[in-house]
Amino acid sequence: MKLFYTWIGICVVILTALLILYFSKKSDYEDLLSDLKILSGKEEDLSSQSVVHDLLNHDLNIAKNEWFNWNKLSKNQSNFWRSYLDESNNIYFNQSNKSSSSINTELTRLISQLLRECEKSNVNFISENNTPSPFLETDQKTSGFSFGFSGYDGFWPSFEKEEANRISVQSKIIKQIVEIFLNSFKHHESPTLYSIKREAAGQIDRKYINDDLITLNTGISLLRSVKFLDSQVFEISFMGKTDNLRSFINQIRAPFSLRSILVNRDGTTSELSEQASFFASKETTSDQNILPIIRNIDSIFIIQLEYITEANVDLFKYLSSYGQNDLERFFSEDYITLK
């Protein structure tokens, strides 16, 4: 009987120890389970953050590739327009900053020179004003033609220096246009020059330019419409044949750009843009009964030319103007790798 109670006591002690161990381990288990849940939540957060990071990194790589492509395109455009501008021969870049009075003297001499060259080439002038011109320094007054500057025939207003220099640039460009015109005719031909028109160089010039102000043809597409280019547009009107027009066009070189041709013949008018075929002929048309667009007969040609003076195609400079001044540094490491 005594042994029985002894075993009972031992069992109670063992049971009590087991219960104490159970409750202590249960608490540890619950703590571990709580920690596991926390770790599981953090793992989900890390996984979510990793996905977001991957997406952002993917978008960044796309943005960088687009930047590199646009940067390459910008450089190609910049190289093209730098070549097209031909800065070493471009009148705009080679113009020295002169006083208004010196430009007045320069313009007078230039127009006298052009009149003498036209006289040598037997040019006939048909203009609204046929009175003698004081621009001509010789005793023989052949015409009142002033090559787009009739408003300053014996008169010179008080120009600001900047506007006067723009007029000087225009006068040199017109000189090149006249030389192209004269070289478009053979020695035995007698060209007829109707007018040379230009854009106003400024507010004062606009006040006095009168009939020499150019009116751009409806629908004409100018290169400067893309905004990053600046230019001056000129118009020359003369009588000639198809050969003369062809010769004129063949002489046009950058930074000149032919923008439109208007042909007046026998009371009819046809307009050709720079995309048109100027010289369709019976040999090149499929229908032999179709007349050429321009036949080799006397016609009046009104030609509008655009002279490119500036080109701002630096993409980085354009973007930097919006306040992002460290784009080059931000992309420099990858740019060096990909370049």
pLDDT one digit per residue (tens) for the chain, 339 residues: 666 667 666 666 666 666 565 556 656 666 666 766 776 666 666 667 776 677 778 788 888 888 788 778 878 888 888 888 888 889 998 888 889 999 999 999 999 999 999 999 999 998 644 433 434 443 334 457 899 999 998 889 999 999 999 999 999 999 999 999 999 999 889 999 999 999 999 999 999 999 999 998 777 889 988 878 899 999 999 999 999 999 999 999 999 999 999 998 765 555 555 444 444 443 444 444 544 554 568 899 999 999 999 888 766 666 665 555 555 555 554 444 444
199 vs 148: CA distance, rounded Å: 10
Whether the Cβ atoms of residue 170 and residue 181 lie closer than 8 Å to each other: no
Give alpha helix (H) positions in 158-285: 161-182, 203-208, 242-250
Q: In the structure, how many helices (H) and strands (E) does the chain have?
A: 7, 6
Res 137: pLDDT: 41
CB atoms within 10 A of CB 189: 15
Where along the chain do its domains lie? 1-85, 95-315
Pick the CATH number of 95-315 from 2.60.120.260, 3.30.70.60, 3.60.150.10, 3.60.110.10: 3.30.70.60
Res 141: pLDDT: 40
Look up tokens 């066009």; give the residue: 249
Res 237: pLDDT: 96
Res 129: pLDDT: 45
Closest CA to 310 of 213, 229, 191: 229
Half-sphere exposure of 282 (CA within 13 A, CB side): 6
11 vs 5: CA distance, rounded Å: 10
Res 134: pLDDT: 39
Res 296: pLDDT: 67
